[in-house]
Amino acid sequence: MPSRPTRRATVAAAVLAGPVSWLTAAAWGLPTAVGAHRRRLRPVVAGSPHFSDGAFHNTLPTPALAPANTRDGLLRQWHEERHVGLPGGPIPLARTELPAEAAELAVTWFGHASALLEVDGRRVLVDPVWGHRVSPSPVFGPTRLHEPPMPIEDLPPVDAVLISHDHYDHLDLPTVRALVRTQAAPFVVPLGIGEHLRKWRVPEERIVELDWDGEHTVDGLTLTCTEARHFSGRYLHRNTTLWASWAVTGPRHRVYFGGDTGYTPAFAGIGARLGPFDLTLLPIGAYNDAWHAIHMDPEEAVRAHGDLGGAVLLPIHWATFNLAFHRWAEPVQRLLAAAEQRGRTVVVPQPGERVDVLDPPPLRDWWTAVGSAADGPPGTSSAGLGTSVFTRVLTRLTALLPGA
C-alpha cells in the first residue's frame, strides 16, 4: 500500500497535469507563429525614414491603446461585453464560381479584410486569412464567426498577394503556408514583414518588401505601398515592422485597399497622387473610443472614401471576428446611413460573394436577419478578445526562447 507522502505526490501530480498540458497546448508552435525576432528585423528596417528609436512611427502622433488609467475599464469591458459583437445567428455565405479569366474590375470578399481583386484582367489577393483562430496560440484568441466561403485550394492563380501589416487577423501563418504550396505569386509586403515570411520558409524570390511610396509592378499592375495610421506587432515588441495601405493601378482601373487604419489626412494626398479610385476597400469595424486613432468608424470610412476620390465603396474589417464591443451588424448599418447622406455608392456582399464593380448590384440587406447576440440573451462562445491577456503572457515567454 502506498505511503501517505507517496499518495500526496500522486494527487499533486494529477492536479498539476491538467494545467501543464493545457499550457503546453496553448504554447504549441508559438515561437514560429510570432514570426521574426526584432534582432533579425533591425538590419532590414533601420534605413527607413519612418523608423527611429527602435520602432516605426505614424506621421501623426497616434496612441495605440488607451491611457493607463482607463485600462482597468477596458479589461472589465472585455470580460463583461465580449458577447456583444457576436452574431445572433448563422452568417450566410455565398458560393461563388470564380471565372477562369479575371475581369476588368471585380472583387470577391471572403470576410474581414480578405478579398480577391480583379483589375484589368489580373488578380490580386489581399490580406488572406483562412485560419480558424487569429492568434499565435491554437487555444487562445478570436475564432472565426463563419467558415471560409471557399477552400483556399480552390482559388484561381493570382498575380500577387498583398499584406497590409503583421497582426494575426491580417497575416496568418497557416494561410501563408497554404499559398506557398498552392500559388506561385509574390508576396508584396510592407518593410520588415519579409523577415516573418523568410522565417516561415517562403522562397526569397517570392518576397517583395516596400516602404511607403515604394512601387512594384506585376504583369502590368503597379502596386504602391501607401501610408496608413496603425501599428504592428505579433508579440509584446510593437512597431518593429511597417504597416500600410495599398493602391493597385492598372492600365484602365484603380483600386485602393485600406487594410487596417485610423482616419488620416494622408488619404487626401493618396487620392490626389494615385486616384481617383474606381473601388475602395475600407475598414469599418472594431472601433472603440479607446483606440479611435488606429481604427476608423463607419462615418470616417465614408469620409476617407471621399478623400480618395472613390467611386464604389466595399466595407471590410467586420463580420468575421469578434474584435470589439459594438453589435455585430452595427458597422454596416452606420456605414449605409452615412453613405446615404453623402450620396456614396456602397456594395455589401455576403462573405464569398463576387461583385462586378462596373455594374454593381442593388443593395440587398442580408445582415439584419442575422442580428446580434446582444439583442437577445447572451450566448456562450470562444470567439472574441477574451484570452488576450493569457496570450500576451505566453508570447512574452516564447520571446525569451533561443532562436525566437
* Cα 131 from Cα 109, distance rounded (Å): 16
How many Å is the maximal CA-CA distance in the chain? Answer: 85
Q: Of 34, 258, 219, 214, whose CA–CA distance to 121 is shortest?
A: 219
**Per-residue pLDDT of the chain in tens (404 residues, 90 and over written 9):** 555 555 554 544 444 444 444 334 444 456 788 888 878 888 889 999 999 999 999 999 998 765 544 445 545 555 556 678 999 999 999 999 999 999 999 999 999 999 999 999 999 999 999 999 999 888 888 999 999 999 999 999 999 999 999 999 999 999 999 999 999 999 999 999 999 999 999 999 999 999 999 999 999 999 999 999 999 999 778 999 999 999 999 999 999 999 999 999 999 999 999 999 999 999 999 999 888 999 999 999 999 999 999 999 999 999 999 999 999 999 999 999 999 999 999 999 999 999 999 999 999 999 999 998 877 643 334 344 333 333 333 333 333 333 33
Total Cβ atoms within 10 A of residue 66 = 15
Helical spans, DSSP H, in 160-231: 173-182, 193-199
**207-210/215-218 β-pairing:** unpaired
Q: Tell me the C-alpha distance between 153 and 157, whole Å.
A: 10
Question: 87: which DSSP letter?
Answer: B
Q: Which residue has the cell 469591458?
A: 77
Reported as type and span, the H/E element at residue 20 is: helix 4-27
- Residue ranges and CATH numbers for the domains of the chain are 83-375 (3.60.15.10)
Contacts of residue 337, Cβ cutoff 8 Å, sequence gap at least 6: none
> Of 107, 26, 73, which Cα lies nearest the Cα of 290?
73
Within 8 A by CB and 6+ apart from 253, the residues are: 104, 105, 119, 120, 278, 279
Q: 298 and 335 in contact (C-beta within 8 Å)?
A: yes
For 216, half-sphere exposure in the C-beta direction (CA atoms, 13 angstrom radius) is: 21
Q: How far apart are CA 376 and CA 83, in angstroms?
A: 11
Q: Hunting for cell 524570390 — which residue is that?
A: 205
